[in-house]
Amino acid sequence: MGKPENSLSDFIIGSPFLFEFASLPNALFNAIKPKIELVPHPLPASFRVRNTDCVSSLLKLFSNEDKHKSIALQYDYFQVYIKSIFLKSSVYKDEASEFFLGENLILDEKLMECLLFTTSFTINLTDVEISIFSKIRSLFSRYKYNKLHKYMTEVISKELLNRTDSRSDSQLVPNDAIDIIIKNKNKYSLYDYKLIGSSFGTILQLSSSINGSRLANFLIDVSFNVRIYNRLAIEQITIIEKYGFKINEAQLDDMVYLDAALKDSIRLTQRTVCERRVEKNYIFSNGAIIPKGSIVKFDLFSHSRNVRIHGNYSHHFVPERNLLNKTKLSDVLLDSFIWSAGDHKCPAIGYSVTQLKIAAAIFIRNFEITQACNLNAKHKGYEIFNTIRHVNTELYLKPHNILEYKFT
């Protein structure tokens, strides 16, 4: 436990105090206030609190309801997305977006602009970005953000209202994410359509910034190890021969090695976050006094490399460690702390794991992933920004038919 310099936080704690830190309720160690108070953002604080609650409800919904449809939507989405990378055409916007927004909304060019801008808008400041210039840059687009956010909210809420008035919830067969929301709105108390419209943009932003970064890091990790890619490819071939190419829930459950590989890659690229606002004076078990109003965070980056927890080669990408420990990516564990715990547990575990496994599986099925472009490439470590990412930025994706892949 210590006091970091030049940081948004007053105290930083390590692995010995994780259980205590994770067990404390929001009433004592508040996880919402630091995000609202410390992170500059165009939207009012009171609205962001409500938006956070709505995002949590939507993510729980997408994680738990109509899973077969959600998996099908995401499979189609990533198939089209990967094609668009190489075709450089409008397929990505015209087809993939339809799977989430529906055929009405993708025709709205301004809405597409809103979603693109709001999902790329910087809403987090890390300790390396707390200079006055960084804050000015992050707030520079305030006017444009507010204008586009208002339009996005109104258009999506109007679409929700129109569909609700024209269909019976009990008879609704979901065709996209908006249909899934309407079908389950009573179960998850989703009645404020304007708030849902706003939350939609937040979910897309979280998916692109968090899972997008995780997927990119995973691909780099795999590119450095032919043995790991071969094992991932063998698993996918076995699954395709058993089920066919279309990914469903049963296929995802059988992707055991992919699950282990994603989990170990994420372990190595977890940023020190988990800031908490202390609501009352608190005395830790070692006697350290944390005054009311302090900001406390957990040193997750060091924890993820703790030899006592993760064993030998804790700085290396070794998926097998999770097979030996019989742990899954979706497990809520203090050892990994990927999803936090207690009152602060991530509401999107199912949704996030599904999205990552589908996207990773499609890359493995469609490409040989190596460093063939630079045979002498070495791992150069990590850079810490809003997310942690590899210093290495290049890899080689060779399109192939995985059923004809020649193992090396």
Above 90 in pLDDT, residue 177? no
Q: What is the pLDDT of residue 100?
A: 63
Q: Residue 356 in contact with residue 210, Cβ under 8 Å?
A: no
Alpha-helix runs per DSSP H in 2-66: 18-23, 32-38, 45-64
H/E run at residue 259? helix 256-268
Class of residue 68 by CB neighbours under 10 A (exposed 0-12, middle 13-18, buried 19+): exposed
Q: What is the pLDDT of residue 273?
A: 61
Above 50 in pLDDT, residue 93? no
Q: Residue 302 in contact with residue 382, Cβ under 8 Å?
A: no
Per-chain mean pLDDT for the chain: 82
> Domain 11-404: which topology?
Cytochrome p450 (1.10.630)
Q: What is the pLDDT of residue 91?
A: 37
H/E run at residue 388? strand 388-390
The pTM of the whole model exceeds 0.95: no
User: Given pLDDT bands bounded at 50, 70 and 90, which one contains residue 82?
Assistant: low
Residue carrying the six token digits 């071969």: 230
Q: Which residues contact 253 (CB under 8 A, 6 or more apart)?
A: none
Exposed e or buried b for every residue in 219-229, given b needs 16+ CB within 10 A? bbbbbbbbebb
Pairing of strands 289-290, 382-384: unpaired
Three-class secondary structure of residue 143 per DSSP: helix
